[in-house]
């Protein structure tokens, strides 16, 4: 329910931004979106592990590495997605914050919550 609330309240999922470009403007919300690809790897044997989003974090699909049984993993950000990684990679569409003083009302009308807005723009997407 909380997730639903956030989705409807303020989140644009930028679904129209193509995933085969590095970055593009979202036609739905006008933000500049960068496609970031992440992959989960085992700390022990370095195998790529299939993963998913859980509470906005990237987690492996299984608790234990299918190759070596380790529970330790790390997340690697990919510079470029390639064909072999696409089954493992997680895509995160990240807003690149821009100076919107002339076009956005949030900077002008809500001065008291400016810090809050900066936080949201900078870190939540
Ligand atoms: Zn959008
Ligand atoms: Zn392993």
pLDDT tens-digit readout, 52-65:
988 888 999 999 99
Residue 56 within any structural domain of the chain = yes
* Spatial distance between the Cα atoms of 32 and 5, rounded to a whole number of angstroms: 23
Helix (H) or strand (E) holding 53: strand 51-54
Query: Count of residues for the chain?
Result: 125
Q: Which domain holds residue 10?
A: 2-97
Per residue in 36-47, pLDDT (tens digit) is 999 999 999 999
Residue 77 has pLDDT above 70, yes or no: yes
Q: DSSP secondary-structure letter at 98?
A: -
Number of domains in the chain: 1
Residue 108 within any structural domain of the chain = no
pTM: 0.65
Residue 115 within any structural domain of the chain = no
Query: Coil, strand, or helix at residue 113?
Result: helix
Residue 117 within any structural domain of the chain = no
For residue 24, how far is its CA from the centre of ligand 1 (angstroms)? 10
Per residue in 78-89, pLDDT (tens digit) is 988 888 888 899
For residue 93, how far is its CA from the centre of ligand 2 (angstroms)? 28
Share above pLDDT 90 across residues of the chain, in percent, rounded to a whole number: 50
* Spatial distance between the Cα atoms of 48 and 73, rounded to a whole number of angstroms: 10
**What residues flank ion ligand 1 with Cβ within 5 A?**
12, 14, 26, 28-29
């Amino acid at each position: 329910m909380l997730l639903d609330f956030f989705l409807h309240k303020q989140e644009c999922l930028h679904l129209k931004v193509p995933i085969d470009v590095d970055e593009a403007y979202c036609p739905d919300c006008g933000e500049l979106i960068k496609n970031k690809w992440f992959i989960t790897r085992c700390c022990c044997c370095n195998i790529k592990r299939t993963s998913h989003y859980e509470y906005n974090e990237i987690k492996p699909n299984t608790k234990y590495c299918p190759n070596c049984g380790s529970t330790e993993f790390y997340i690697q950000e990919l510079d470029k997605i390639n064909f072999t990684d696409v089954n493992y990679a997680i895509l995160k569409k990240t807003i690149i914050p821009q100076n919107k003083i002339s076009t956005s009302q949030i900077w002008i009308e809500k001065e008291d919550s400016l810090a809050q807005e900066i936080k949201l723009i900078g870190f939540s997407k």
